[in-house]
Amino acid sequence: MKKIGVLFGMENTFPGALVDRINAMEIEGIQAEFVCVGGVHMAAPSGYAVIVDRISHDMPFYRSFLKNAALTGTQIINNPFWWSADDKFFNYALASKLGVAVPKTVLLPHKKFPPQINERSLRNLQFPLDWDGIFEYVGFPAFLKPHDGGGWRDVFHVHNRHEFFHAYDQTRDLCMTLQAAVNFQEYFRCYVVGQTDVRIMPYDPRRPHEHRYVLDPPEYDKKLLKRVEKDALTLCKALGYDLNTVEFAVEDGIPYAIDFMNPAPDADLHSVGKESFDWIVDKVSKLAVKKAQSSTKAKHELSWSSFLAPSTGKSASKPAATPAPKKTEKKKTKKEA
Given a cut of 50, whether residue 317 has pLDDT beyond it is no
Contacting residues for 221 by C-beta, under 8 A, at least 6 apart? 253
195-207 pLDDT, tens digit per residue, is: 999 999 999 988 8
Shared domain for 245 and 222, answered yes or no, is: yes
Where is the domain boundary, 208, 237, 260? 260
Say what angle helices 274-293 and 13-24 make with each other, to 10 degrees: 50
Q: Give 1-54 as a DSSP string.
A: -EEEEEE-SS--HHHHHHHHHHHHT--TTEEEEE----S--TT---S-SEEEES
Shared domain for 6 and 81, answered yes or no, is: yes
What backbone phi and psi angles, to 5 degrees, belong to 79? -45, 115
Is 133 domain-assigned? yes
- Contact between 193 and 242 under an 8 Å Cβ cutoff? The reply is yes
Whether this prediction's pTM lies above 0.95 is answered by no
Q: What is the pLDDT of residue 151?
A: 66
Q: What is the pLDDT of residue 71?
A: 94
Is 56 domain-assigned? yes
Shared domain for 40 and 108, answered yes or no, is: no
- What is the rounded average pLDDT of the residues 114-126? 85
Question: Can you tell me the distance from the alpha carbon of 248 to that of 224, in angstroms, rounded to the nearest whole number?
Answer: 11
Shared domain for 169 and 192, answered yes or no, is: no
Question: pLDDT-derived band of residue 329, with 50, 70 and 90 as boundaries?
Answer: very low
- Contact between 245 and 189 under an 8 Å Cβ cutoff? The reply is yes
- Strands of the 50-53 sheet, one edge to the other: 30-34, 2-7, 50-53, 75-77
What is the tally of structural domains in the chain? 3
Given a cut of 90, whether residue 325 has pLDDT beyond it is no
Given a cut of 70, whether residue 226 has pLDDT beyond it is yes
Buried b (16+ CB within 10 A) or exposed e, 8-36: beeeeebbebbbebbeeeeeeebebeebe
Question: pLDDT-derived band of residue 320, with 50, 70 and 90 as boundaries?
Answer: very low
The residue segments making up the domain with residue 205 are 186-260
- Contact between 77 and 288 under an 8 Å Cβ cutoff? The reply is yes
Is 112 domain-assigned? yes
66-107 pLDDT, tens digit per residue, is: 999 999 999 999 999 988 888 999 999 999 999 999 999 999
317-320 long-range contacts (CB < 8 A, ≥24 apart) are 317/99, 318/99, 319/98, 319/99, 319/100, 320/99
Q: What is the pLDDT of residue 319?
A: 40
Is 93 domain-assigned? no
Where is the domain boundary, 85, 120, 140? 85
Question: Can you tell me the distance from the alpha carbon of 268 to that of 216, in angstroms, rounded to the nearest whole number?
Answer: 18
Is 131 domain-assigned? yes
4-26 pLDDT, tens digit per residue, is: 999 999 999 999 999 999 999 99
Given a cut of 80, whether residue 29 has pLDDT beyond it is yes
DSSP 256: E
Question: Can you tell me the distance from the alpha carbon of 237 to that of 100, in angstroms, rounded to the nearest whole number?
Answer: 13
Is 337 domain-assigned? no
290-303 pLDDT, tens digit per residue, is: 999 986 554 545 45
- Contact between 241 and 233 under an 8 Å Cβ cutoff? The reply is no
Q: Which of 262, 202, 268, 205 has the alpha carbon at shortest distance from 236? A: 262
Question: Can you tell me the distance from the alpha carbon of 80 to that of 263, in angstroms, rounded to the nearest whole number?
Answer: 10
Question: Can you tell me the distance from the alpha carbon of 207 to that of 190, in angstroms, rounded to the nearest whole number?
Answer: 18
Shared domain for 176 and 190, answered yes or no, is: no
Q: What's the CATH code of the domain at 58?
A: 3.40.50.20
Is 18 domain-assigned? yes
Q: What is the pLDDT of residue 274?
A: 95
Average confidence score pLDDT of the chain: 88
Question: pLDDT-derived band of residue 50, with 50, 70 and 90 as boundaries?
Answer: very high
Q: Which of 52-61, 73-82, 323-332 comes out lowest in average pLDDT?
A: 323-332
Percent of the chain at pLDDT exceeding 90: 74
Shared domain for 110 and 79, answered yes or no, is: no
